[in-house]
Amino acid sequence: MVKDIDWANIGFSYTKTDYRFISDYKNGKWDEGRLSEDAVIRLDESAGVLQYAQTCFEGLKAYRTVDGHVVCFRPDLNAKRMADSCARLEMPIFPEDKFVDAVKQVVKANLEFVPPYGTGASLYLRPYMFASSNVIGVKPAQEYQFRIFATPVGPYFKGGAKPISVKISDFDRAAPHGTGHIKAGLNYAMSLHAIVQAHNEGFNENFYLDSATRTKIEETGGANIIFVTKDNKVVTPKSNTILPSITRRSLMYVAEHYLGLKAEEREVYLEELKDFEECALCGTAAVLSPVGRIYDHGKEILLPSGMEKMGEVTQKLYDTLTGIQMGRIEPPEGWIEVIE
Ligand SMILES: *Cc1c(COP(=O)(O)O)cnc(C)c1O
């Protein structure tokens, strides 16, 4: 029933699976949608997505749990977030209940690609929408396509999570009153140059500052940030130009309600970095990636948790959230959508 794939070594890359969900928006409404074996899209040369980047996306995972079920983690929040992205980009909203239903259809149709429990691998789902009809004057397109494909992904960290090095970026990710809070492809297009440069300089990631004052920490190109204070408080930056990570919102809940820690969403100043005990990136792909070193223009900040392993609180957060996702720990109501 499960494909013969070397689950431990597939990495975080694309593998084609059998079925994807497709729905078209035409004449002001969405069609019923369908599953298709065709992974290729044919588009008009002047499609809105190609000319003016009218597109947004989501990302979530399906897991096999300890008791053999296949589940998804909080897909209703992805549906809601995509609706927010679409509203900001003048795209039609794909109904939230239909979004969750389509996620389930894709997982069910590709069950053989859901990795076995205990491998650390999972089935990554990529819902996305794009303008499919032609534009040449700058305006929203008339037609759109919503799709979800699935691809199995390996454990993000082979052989355990080693702390990473990040740099404070000189580039900006999001403008005040811009699109930083939505999951638009355009936010990623303009972060590519910054991440390639950071990699060339030997860093794993960029920490972006608030572009208005450049004094506060926001997030990386594709993950939110959490800090742990010396007195075990979990802190995450507050800003309306940060993408509201579902992993981060879940971790803050776990910190408070499962671990009994204080959890605080507030502005975090660059100057405070030296005072934190632990730091980690959070997002669907890796859950939590510990940060060991932050480079700020000639100054180096070494987190006390070091470069060898996750800090103690980060580890507890990681174990609890993955325990909830894999069915080892009782979830808060509504967090786990059982598919099989
Ligand atoms: C998707 C994304 C995240 C992580 O969100 P999750 O819902 O936790 O996967 C963080 N930052 C940015 C910019 C993102 O696009």
Q: CA-CA distances (angstroms) from residue 223 to 206, 226, 314?
A: 10, 10, 15
Return the pLDDT at 161.
84
The position carrying tokens 């002047």 is: 46
Give the pLDDT band (50/70/90) at residue 234.
very high
Distance CA(134)–CA(143), nearest Å, equals: 8
Dist. CA 223 → ligand 1 center (Å):
5
**What percent of the chain has pLDDT above 90?**
93
Q: Hey, whose CA ends up nearest to atom 15 of ligand 1?
A: 222
* Dihedral angle over CA of 325, 326, 328, 331, nearest 10: 20
Is residue 247 very low, low, confident or very high in pLDDT (cuts 50, 70, 90)?
very high
Cα 136 to ligand 1 centroid, rounded to whole Å: 31
Q: Which mutation among 245, 289, 317 tests ligand 1's pocket best, with the greatest number of atoms within 8 A of CB? A: 245
Q: Which amino acid is at 331?
A: P
pLDDT interval class at 158 (50, 70, 90): low
Using CB distances shorter than 6 Å, the residues near ligand 1 are 59, 183, 219, 222-224, 243, 245-248, 283-284
Vertex 290 angle, CA 186 and 314, to 5°: 115
In this prediction, residue 12 carries a pLDDT of 87
Atom of ligand 1 nearest to the CA of 285: 9
The average pLDDT across 261-288 equals 96
Pocket probe mutation, ligand 1, options 88, 128, 224, 236, max atoms within 8 Å of Cβ:
224
Residues 206 and 167: beta-carbon distance below 8 Å = yes
Q: What's the 323 CA to ligand 1 centre distance in angstroms?
A: 20
Work out the average pLDDT over 39-57: 98
Q: With CA atoms as reference, report the closest residue to 61 among 18, 23, 113, 9.
A: 113
Closest atom of ligand 1 relative to the 187 alpha carbon: 13
Task: Report which ligand 1 atom has the smallest distance to the Cα of 246.
Answer: 7
Q: Is pLDDT of 23 > 90?
A: yes
Give the separation between CA 150 and CA 114, rounded to whole angstroms.
Answer: 9
Task: Give the tokens for residue 72.
Answer: 């998804």
Arithmetic mean of pLDDT, 99-127: 96
CA-CA-CA-CA dihedral for 84, 89, 90, 95, to nearest 10: -30
Share above pLDDT 70 across residues of the chain, in percent, rounded to a whole number: 99
Model confidence pTM above 0.95: yes
DSSP assignments along 257-280, one per residue: HTS---EEEE--BGGGGGG-SEEE
- Across the range 309-322, mean pLDDT stands at 96
Query: Which of 284, 287, 321 has most ligand 1 atoms within 8 Å of its beta carbon, as the pocket-test mutant?
Result: 284
* CB-count burial class (<10 Å; 0-12, 13-18, 19+) for 197: middle
Phi, psi of 32 (to 5 degrees): -65, -30
d(Cα 15, Cα 3) in Å, to the nearest integer? 12
Residue nearest to atom 14 of ligand 1 (CA): 222
Cβ proximity of 209 and 217 under 8 Å: yes
Q: Above 70 in pLDDT, residue 159?
A: no
List, as one string, the DSSP characters of 222-249. Answer: S-EEEEE-TT--EEEE--TTS---HHHH
Atom of ligand 1 nearest to the CA of 81: 7
For the residues 73-81, what does the mean pLDDT come to?
98
Residue 180 backbone class (left: φ over 0; alpha: ψ -120 to 50; beta: rest): alpha
Domains of the chain in sequence order: 7-153 (3.30.470.10), 164-325 (3.20.10.10)
Give the nearest ligand 1 atom to 248 CA.
8
Q: What is the pLDDT of residue 11?
A: 86
61 is catalytic: no
Single-letter code of the amino acid located at 211: S
Q: Whose CA is nearest to atom 5 of ligand 1?
A: 245
CA dist., res. 265 & res. 286, Å (int): 21
Which among 183, 216, 274, 316 is annotated as catalytic?
183
- The closest residue, in CA terms, to atom 12 on ligand 1 is 222
- Distance separating alpha carbons of residues 16 and 133, to the nearest angstrom: 26
Do residues 294 and 273 lie in contact, with contact meaning Cβ atoms separated by under 8 Å? yes
* End-to-end C-alpha distance for the chain, whole angstroms: 13
